[in-house]
Amino acid sequence: MALNLLSPADINSISFLYTTKSNHTLPKFPGGFSLRRKDCGRVYGRRVQCSAQPPPPAWPGRAVAEPNSRTWDGPKPISVVGSTGSIGTQTLDIVAENPEKFRVVALAAGSNVTLLADQVRTFKPQLVAVRDESLIDELKEALTDVEEKPEIIPGEQGVIEVARHPDAVSVITGIVGCAGLKPTVAAIEAGKDIALANKETLIAGGPFVLPLAHKHNVKILPADSEHSAIFQCIQGLPEGALRRIILTASGGAFRDWPVNKLKDVKVADALKHPNWNMGKKITVDSATLFNKGLEVIEAHYLFGAEYDDIEIVIHPQSIIHSMVETKDSSVLAQLGWPDMRLPILYTMSWPDRIYCSEITWPRLDLCKLGSLTFKTPDNVKYPSMDLAYAAGRAGGTMTGVLSAANERAVEMFIDEKISYLDIFKVVELTCDKHRVELVDTPNLEEIVHYDLWAREYASSLVHTSGRSPVPA
């Protein structure tokens, strides 16, 4: 039985979702969700600090390569954390095509021993890790025919050692979820530049990770297409030139659906992305637009833009990957076919550009494409946007809770335990519950703790006929 979600009109009036710039009293949500914006004062007797000193952004609205950047002999040495996943395999495709530019010194995988063994044969890393310790014997058996066997370290410690391998200059972080946080922190502490494909690193860990990166003079280079587009557009901008960030979104499976049909959505409907085939989680996030809301938070941490200066635009063709507006009103955009290899490649080669074959990297033909269109996203259809902006303004651990609650809600939806619209309700209630324990400047342990707490709390929400969800 589905949760008894409020109507779209009620959803749009949630005070936590209130995103205008004014400071008047926020309206009370009839379901009880009234998380206020992060103003100075006290919430339930607990001091909540203003974000007067937010963590320093990875790139403060501009990207300039340091004149005395690091150099190395021969191909650039890299480590890949999450080598058997989508990001990892695409990264290794790039290495295979450019052996004179890159070489792999360490690989870490989760449980796909067969693919990992194939990668070891091809790229000959010095160190290999498999997170599932029970698979170590299977991995060793799969590598019996390999002459130059790598060192193998099992479990999370092995993944950490791959991330901070002494020979690596850059680390590609492709592990999904908070499991990628500790390896990323280890890499930063070891002075490795980060090719960032793990959203939780900044969405959940931004308040802790960004000061750490600045302390160790480490570059965090965005590997997802939207933030890579922004990063490419701010190359060489003078200080203070960035005025606005414009994130483009495909709109997902329901961009052409009327709002009143969303109550009837089935899992199969949400998994029909109009542009491409992806995994179930990201396809549902594209349908709800939670993916874009999370990208707003990530853009804030990466580029230092205020939330009022980050905008979402529906762009059905997915050719413009994002845009920036400068102070003189010029708009700069990065265009290309939807291909994750391009942003991954740029994180690996920056500040250089690498020539790519037209056979494996088709060039964009605008005349063949025809037209590019845009429209404003509907906040009633996509309440996730307002949830994300409000969580971002709350700051601290709230953004990680938002992300973890959404991940669990999507799992429950895919398992047909809740309805499509209940995804928003589960996230809303979890964020509301967390407001009394929000930590403004969390350490790593607190970040991981509240990630786990959010998943457990979201799972505990039971659905009863005729009532809003309540804790089990």
Average confidence score pLDDT of the chain? 87
Q: How many C-alpha atoms does 306 have within 13 Å on its Cβ side?
A: 9
- pLDDT > 70: what percent of the chain? 86
Q: What is the pLDDT of residue 454?
A: 97
Question: What is the DSSP secondary-structure string of 199-260?
Answer: THHHHTTHHHHHHHHHHTT--EEE-SHHHHHHHHHTBTPPTT-EEEEEEEE---TTTTS-GG
Which element (helix H / strand E) includes 403? helix 398-414
Q: Express each pLDDT in 132-150 by its tens digit.
A: 999 999 999 999 999 989 9
Domain ranges of the chain: 76-238+337-355, 380-465
Q: In a 3-state reduction of DSSP, which class is residue 469?
A: coil
Read off the DSSP letter of residue 167: T
- On the question of a common fold for 76-238+337-355 and 380-465, the answer reads no
Confidence of residue 470 (pLDDT cuts 50, 70, 90): low
Looking at the domain 76-238+337-355, which fold is it? Rossmann fold (3.40.50)
Q: pLDDT band at residue 279, thresholds of 50, 70 and 90?
A: confident
Q: Rounded CA gap, 149 and 333, in Å?
A: 46
Entry field: residues in the chain:
472
Give the pLDDT band (50/70/90) at residue 27.
very low
Number of Cα atoms under 13 Å in the Cβ half of residue 272: 9
Single pTM value for the model: 0.88
Q: Is the pLDDT of residue 467 over 90?
A: no
pLDDT tens-digit readout, 289-301: 999 999 999 999 9
Q: What is the DSSP letter of 441?
A: S
- CATH number of the structural domain 380-465: 1.10.1740.10
Per mean pLDDT, which range of 71-85, 159-173, 202-216, 230-244 is the poorest? 71-85
What is the band of 472 on the pLDDT scale with cuts at 50, 70, 90?
Answer: low
